[in-house]
């Protein structure tokens, strides 16, 4: 088994454990909508279709992924948060586990209004990387985890098609710098570390226009 496949398999086991830990309780969508309007709307919009490229679109994102990210913004067992962000840290501090599940389920049920690519040349380069990776840098194809259409894999990898290019670009650079380190097994940090600014922007542009 290759290192990449081994990492994917290990990630799958991690997420299977997370799903089991979450239990079978049905999220309260009405509570999720209330929280979205009262707590999250200023940055992400009530329906998850943020209009500010710095703030990700949450509509249609996988509920399990959203739940994990919300949890990662919270310090656990006296340790610092797995994903540090002053604004999000303050927001999730007031949320219970049930609240986070409700929010994740609510936003997952909303319809995404996708962003669009703005640079066709960069998007063309991004398409090559998305589909085939960068062999000489040992960068795997993005499609291997996020799918040919950017839909991702529920509970494992996020839906990226139609996401703001600016946001994807920023997150990849955070992974590259180690400022964001909540990727299982360091997979995204390893990939981003081998990519140039242009290659990162190209992938981000392609994802924004992917349908």
pTM (2 d.p.): 0.88
Query: pLDDT of 65-75, one tens digit each?
Result: 999 999 999 99
Cα-based distances in Å from 94 to 30, 65, 71, 86, 91: 18, 20, 12, 14, 6
Nearest residue to 122 via CA among 188, 175, 200? 200
The pLDDT score that the predictor gives to residue 76 is 86
Share of the chain above pLDDT 90, in %: 85
* pLDDT for the residue 199: 98
Are 200 and 111 within 8 A, CB to CB? no
Question: Of 190, 192, 191, 187, which Cα lies nearest the Cα of 11?
Answer: 187
pLDDT computed for residue 24 by the predictor? 55
**Could you say which residues of the chain have pLDDT below 50?**
1-2, 5-6, 9-10, 13-23
């Amino acid at each position: 088994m290759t290192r990449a496949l081994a990492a994917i398999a290990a990630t799958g086991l991690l997420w299977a454990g997370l799903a089991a830990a979450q239990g079978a309780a049905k999220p309260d969508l009405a509570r999720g909508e209330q929280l979205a309007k009262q707590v999250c709307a200023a940055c992400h919009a009530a329906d998850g279709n943020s209009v500010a490229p710095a703030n990700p679109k949450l509509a249609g994102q996988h509920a399990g992924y959203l739940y994990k990210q919300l949890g990662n913004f919270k310090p656990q067992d006296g340790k610092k948060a797995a994903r540090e962000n002053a604004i999000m840290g303050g927001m999730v501090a007031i949320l219970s586990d049930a609240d986070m599940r409700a929010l994740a389920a609510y936003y997952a049920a909303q319809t995404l209004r996708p962003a669009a690519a703005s640079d066709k040349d960069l998007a063309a380069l991004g398409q090559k990387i998305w589909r085939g990776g960068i062999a000489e840098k040992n960068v795997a194809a993005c499609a291997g985890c996020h799918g040919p259409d950017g839909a991702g894999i529920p509970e494992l990898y996020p839906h990226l098609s139609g996401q703001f290019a600016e946001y994807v670009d920023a997150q990849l650079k955070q992974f590259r710098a180690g400022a964001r380190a909540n990727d299982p097994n360091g997979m995204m940090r390893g990939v981003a570390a081998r990519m140039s600014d242009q290659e990162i922007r190209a992938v981000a542009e392609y994802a924004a226009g992917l349908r």
